Chain A
Amino acid sequence: MAEQVPTNTAANFGPSATTPWSIHMTDVSVTYPNGTHALRNVSLSIDAGEIVSIVGLSGSGKSTLIRTINALVPATSGTVIVGGNDVTQMRGRQLRELRGHIGMIFQSFNLADRTSVLNNVLVGRFAHTPTYRTVFGRMTAADKELALRALDSMGMIEKVWLRAGSLSGGQKQRVAIARALTQEPSIMLADEPVASLDPPTAHSVMADLGRINAESNLTVLINIHSVDLARQYANRIIGLREGEVVYDGPAAETTDADFEMIYGRPIQTNDRVGAES
């Protein structure tokens, strides 16, 4: 459990292990090689420790926005400052080190299905491990400890030796979150984390992200489509339409009318997941 602060191990996973980072984007545009303008002059400030929902239709630039923060998609112009570091200027080893501080989870979980849960979670230690060590499969005891603690905090410890492919969708996403937590990140990015999950599982995974935000004091950004989940689990909502920020306000004050403005159409039944059952 995350609240069980380890007493005297070198691995110190827990609420106090990291400090959350802020994110400042100035005039960020992304144009893909095929000419698509995915982001147009986006400027945003996200404070350290916030939990933010980014909403918009598919194709609105949510995925691109979240990927400019760890430079999986480089910004074509503008600057992205993450935890005081200018991501747009970073290359190579420097960039990998920065990514080590930013956890990320995905809609399709992105686990290597044919290897063990533990191996998948150890991916979270890449940025802190010399390549030769990884090649020879020599993980440190501290790294293993971190991985196991992260799995435990997600309630997945008994799955540690199973193949990732044998898990259910919700379990896979929890392992993916554990992988991100193993990084001891300062920011957590979530790209449509519950879009492949059934409503009860979606709620519990969103609750996990909320808990991580509160307990580990991380900055959390969640790309999400569902109106109700976006409102329920985040403090702030940012709306994207055609690559531009068209809404930015506290989640508690975001009305259905605001969502209809962001989506450019009336809210439909499949824009909601429904109440937690």
Chain B
Amino acid sequence: MTVPTTAPLAQPATPLRQSGLSGLPPRPHHAWRTVGIVVALGAFTTLTLMPAIGGIQLDFTALVRNWSNSLPTIRQLLRPDFAFLPRTIAPMAETLEMAVAGAAFAAIVSIPITLWAARPSNPNPFTRQLVRFIININRAVPDLVFAIVLVAMLGVGALPGFVTLFLFDLGVVVKLVSEAIDSSDHDYIEAGRAAGGTQTQINRVTVLPQSWTLYANQWLYSLELNVRISAILGIVGAGGIGRLLDERRGFYAYNDVSIIILEILVAVIVIEFASNALRKKLR
């Protein structure tokens, strides 16, 4: 390496420590802070496992003691009864239909709500915070709780399942896409404003086409989640394959349960592959 004699900047060929630079600030040390964080987390985890002070009781010996009881179950699970397959087709189709319908309706409704929840597309802090607040409440409710309440309100069947998935997807899409819009550059908005546009006009003609890929990504992701969730929604009466799963489990027909589990697995994997392939295309 040749060091040009005229350029003083080329000198740090010698390590900084020996270079005699006077302005180098001391490197901050975080070692004790790291140790403190690890110790605190460890202590907290230990406390949660102490029943004496209200922690949970985990009896690991039960794993060994009851092992033999589970052997017949496992044996049954390992012998899926393919004769049961035809009876699962209709409920499985219902599950997939709920998943697709929920994702599709959520996708449509998510378009304006997401724009209202993102700062660049909604500069009004009051309405923006209001939309975000409602979405956060929606997201705080676990999907199974939605399903249980909706089954009580709408009756057993696919409808409460569909509504559950719709609400769940709406929360996912609005939150993730609005945050993605928040964190990207939107200098074209200034141009729209300079041309005398209303925020709605600017959103429709520029922000929306600029954000389609963000939307499409989350729509596909929510469809993926839906197939997984809708498989068990039936357990609380919200339609689909979950109802059959719960029924067969009730009869201890584990070789039927096994075929249902296999089917769910295949459906989830297929959807995931398809959605991943599509999302790669979008980039």
A residues with a Cβ closer than 8 A to B are: 70, 72, 95-100, 102-104, 106, 108, 110-115, 119-120, 122-124, 126-127, 129, 131, 134-135, 137, 176, 179-180, 183, 189
CB-defined contacts of B195 to chain A, threshold 8 Å: 99-100, 103-104, 123-124, 126-127, 179-180, 183
**B273 close to chain A: CB less than 8 A:** no
In the complex, the answer to whether A104 meets B197 with C-beta atoms within 8 Å is no
CB-defined contacts of B188 to chain A, threshold 8 Å: 110-112, 120, 123
Complex Cα–Cα for A110 and B194 (A): 11
**B204 close to chain A: CB less than 8 A:** yes
Complex Cα–Cα for A134 and B206 (A): 11
In the complex, the answer to whether A134 meets B196 with C-beta atoms within 8 Å is no
B120 to chain A, nearest CB (A): 12
Q: 15 A-B contacts, Cβ less than 8 Å apart?
A: A72-B194, A99-B194, A99-B195, A106-B191, A110-B190, A111-B191, A114-B212, A115-B209, A120-B206, A123-B192, A123-B202, A126-B192, A129-B201, A131-B198, A137-B204
**Most chain A Cβ neighbours within 10 Å, of B198, B205, B206:** B205
User: A127-B196, A131-B198, A131-B200 in contact; A115/B191 too (CB < 8 A)?
Assistant: no
CB-defined contacts of B206 to chain A, threshold 8 Å: 112, 115, 119-120, 123
In the complex, the answer to whether A119 meets B198 with C-beta atoms within 8 Å is no
Determine which of A72, A96, A122, A124 lies in contact with B190 in the assembled complex, contact meaning CB atoms within 8 Å: A72
A265 to chain B, nearest CB (A): 23
Complex Cα–Cα for A95 and B198 (A): 11
Closest 7 A/B residue pairs (Cβ): A127-B196, A126-B197, A99-B196, A115-B209, A100-B196, A112-B206, A110-B191
In the complex, the answer to whether B187 meets A114 with C-beta atoms within 8 Å is no
Sample of 6 further A-B pairs with CB below 8 A, known A119-B209, A131-B198:
A108-B187, A110-B191, A126-B196, A126-B197, A131-B200, A189-B194
In the complex, the answer to whether A179 meets B196 with C-beta atoms within 8 Å is no
Query: Quick one: CB contact mask for B203-231 with A, threshold 8 Å, 1 for yes?
Result: 01111011011000000000000000000
Q: Interface size bucket, B side?
A: 20 to 34
In the complex, the answer to whether B197 meets A135 with C-beta atoms within 8 Å is no
B77 to chain A, nearest CB (A): 49
In the complex, the answer to whether A104 meets B194 with C-beta atoms within 8 Å is yes
In the complex, the answer to whether B200 meets A134 with C-beta atoms within 8 Å is yes
In the complex, the answer to whether B193 meets A134 with C-beta atoms within 8 Å is no
Determine which of A108, A111, A126 lies in contact with B198 in the assembled complex, contact meaning CB atoms within 8 Å: A126
In the complex, the answer to whether B194 meets A134 with C-beta atoms within 8 Å is no
B227 to chain A, nearest CB (A): 29
**Most chain A Cβ neighbours within 10 Å, of B188, B197, B209:** B188
A193 to chain B, nearest CB (A): 13
In the complex, the answer to whether B191 meets A176 with C-beta atoms within 8 Å is yes
CB-defined contacts of A129 to chain B, threshold 8 Å: 201
**Most chain A Cβ neighbours within 10 Å, of B188, B196, B200, B210:** B196
CB-defined contacts of B196 to chain A, threshold 8 Å: 95-100, 126-127, 183
Complex Cα–Cα for A137 and B203 (A): 12
Closest to A110 in B: B191
**Most chain B Cβ neighbours within 10 Å, of A70, A100, A112, A126:** A112
In the complex, the answer to whether A96 meets B194 with C-beta atoms within 8 Å is no
In the complex, the answer to whether A99 meets B193 with C-beta atoms within 8 Å is yes
Complex Cα–Cα for A178 and B210 (A): 20
CB-defined contacts of A106 to chain B, threshold 8 Å: 187, 190-191
CB-defined contacts of A99 to chain B, threshold 8 Å: 193-196
Complex Cα–Cα for A110 and B189 (A): 8
In the complex, the answer to whether B212 meets A134 with C-beta atoms within 8 Å is no
User: A108-B187, A110-B188, A135-B204 in contact; A102/B194 too (CB < 8 A)?
Assistant: yes
Closest to A183 in B: B195
CB-defined contacts of A102 to chain B, threshold 8 Å: 194
A122 to chain B, nearest CB (A): 7
A222 to chain B, nearest CB (A): 15
CB-defined contacts of B210 to chain A, threshold 8 Å: 112-115
CB-defined contacts of A126 to chain B, threshold 8 Å: 192, 195-198, 201-202, 205
Closest to B193 in A: A72
In the complex, the answer to whether A110 meets B187 with C-beta atoms within 8 Å is yes
Closest to B212 in A: A114
Complex Cα–Cα for A120 and B210 (A): 11
In the complex, the answer to whether A119 meets B205 with C-beta atoms within 8 Å is yes
Closest to A119 in B: B205
Closest to B185 in A: A108
Determine which of A113, A119, A120, A135 lies in contact with B200 in the assembled complex, contact meaning CB atoms within 8 Å: A135
Complex Cα–Cα for A98 and B197 (A): 11
B281 to chain A, nearest CB (A): 15
B194 to chain A, nearest CB (A): 4
Complex Cα–Cα for A222 and B200 (A): 29
User: A112-B206, A112-B209 in contact; A123/B197 too (CB < 8 A)?
Assistant: yes
Closest to B191 in A: A110
Complex Cα–Cα for A98 and B196 (A): 7
Closest to B200 in A: A131
CB-defined contacts of B213 to chain A, threshold 8 Å: 114
Closest to B186 in A: A112
